[in-house]
A and B are shown apart, each in its own frame.
Chain A
Amino acid sequence: MAYSEKVIDHYNNPRNVGSFQKDAEDVGTGIVGAPECGDVMKLQIKVENDTIVDAKFKTFGCGSAIASSSLATEWLKGKSLEEAQKIKNTDIVQELNLPPVKIHCSVLAEDAIKAALGDYQKKATDKKSKPAEAAASS
């Protein structure tokens, strides 16, 4: 089985490798793993006015997992939170031409996106509710 050209390109020149400050208010972090192969993926988004202005990842795993997360960060940039929610693993499979045995890598990337969005949203709601609580208790 050979990797597609797109996978090899993302593997050799991964886009957006790196990290943001995990506890920053405008950052959402998703860390997920695939128990079948032991791959671990960290994906982070930076959000301004409900739009993803930047995305970074670090993936320790096979070429397909790296390519899937690299592609995901490319797609995330410039998307609204709502649009980002709609990215499906099947879109990644199609774009990268992943063979059936590597579909779980794209699932991992979708899980990472969902986890990062969830983390950001949790931070945002916590932020909203905290000042209210503080006001109520005083």
Chain B
Amino acid sequence: MPEASEAEIMEHQHQAQATTATSRELPMARSMCWHCQSEVTGEYLCGQCVKVQPLSRDLDYFACFQLPRLLNIDEQYLEKTFYELSRTFHPDFYSTKDESEKAISLGNSAFLNAAYRTLKDPIQRAEYLIRLEAGAVKDIRSNPPADLFEEVLELQETLETFRQLAPKGPSSDLEALRKKLQAEREHLEKRQAEMETSLQHKFNEWDQLQERAALSGQAREEKNTILREMQEILSNRTYVRNMVNDLLETMG
């Protein structure tokens, strides 16, 4: 059976790769191998029967990549580790294995993909960190930015007028409106960039505090303040980004 032997070769290669990668340790769901009952030492594959082990449900995305909870991260390291772990867990390598192993590889892969996607993007990374650190986002929900809401409503009214005027062909009214909206767009894009800069400052503040807190114990109050400030910038940025997107969509 040539097919079977091909699968076997792939499996061997895969296992060889996997064993070189098992120097890392991650919290696993169980302390015993689900298959042969031998002790699991935090490696992805059982040392005895080489069956893949499910990742711990308590594992967070940072821990999955063995990263500290910092907001400036080494993206090259992240990518490299992602590929390394993907090689261990990818369901393609388990197509000839039994159902339990398939399910575990699928579960681990799905978690790994979500973790990578989230950490790769700085905004999602910050939102995720806030959720992790605050338990629930609600706890540090920021004050509703009333002036921003007014701005959104006003801009939407102007956009609506523009949409009604545009199909009627060129006119001085339409031209004036276009100029107004263009200026608004430039202004909003500048504001979005400013928000991203202040967010980067908060990233740095957070990282410095984390490193300091690691030495001197906790700094809960200070941490919460930074988290709250980040949350506020993030949500305001969402409103501004939506306005920019609506402008781009309407004006082309």
Asked whether A and B interact, the reply is: yes
Identify the A interface with B (CB < 8 A).
31-33, 35-40, 42, 58, 60
Q: How many A-B residue pairs have CB under 8 A?
A: 42
Are B152 and A60 touching (Cβ within 8 A)?
yes
When the two chains form the complex, which single residue of A35, A36, A37, A40 contacts B152, counting CB atoms closer than 8 Å?
A: A40
CB neighbors of A among B129-158 (8 A): 137, 141-142, 144-146, 148-150, 152-153, 156
Are A58 and B153 touching (Cβ within 8 A)?
yes
When the two chains form the complex, which single residue of A31, A35, A37, A60 contacts B146, counting CB atoms closer than 8 Å?
A: A31
- Closest 5 interchain pairs by CB? A35-B235, A38-B242, A38-B238, A40-B152, A31-B149
Q: A33-B144, A35-B235 are in contact. Are A40 and B153 (CB under 8 A)?
A: yes
Please indicate the chain A residues that have their CB under 8 angstroms from the CB of B145 in the complex.
33
Please indicate the chain A residues that have their CB under 8 angstroms from the CB of B152 in the complex.
33, 40, 60
Are B242 and A32 touching (Cβ within 8 A)?
no
Identify the B interface with A (CB < 8 A).
137, 141-142, 144-146, 148-150, 152-153, 156, 231, 234-235, 238-239, 241-242, 246
What's the nearest-Cβ distance from chain B to residue A20, in Å? 13
Are B239 and A36 touching (Cβ within 8 A)?
no
When the two chains form the complex, which single residue of B141, B149, B234, B241 contacts A40, counting CB atoms closer than 8 Å?
A: B149
What's the nearest-Cβ distance from chain A to residue B10, in Å? 36
Are B156 and A60 touching (Cβ within 8 A)?
yes
Q: Complex Cα distance A32/B144, Å?
A: 7
Apart from the given pairs A35-B141, A36-B137, 20 other A-B contacts in the complex at a CB distance below 8 Å? A31-B150, A32-B144, A33-B144, A33-B148, A35-B234, A35-B239, A36-B235, A36-B238, A37-B238, A38-B238, A38-B239, A38-B242, A40-B149, A40-B152, A40-B239, A58-B156, A60-B152, A60-B153, A60-B242, A60-B246
Q: What are 15 sample pairs from A and B whose C-beta atoms fall under 8 A apart?
A: A31-B149, A32-B144, A32-B149, A33-B144, A33-B152, A33-B235, A33-B239, A35-B141, A35-B231, A35-B238, A35-B239, A36-B137, A38-B242, A60-B156, A60-B242
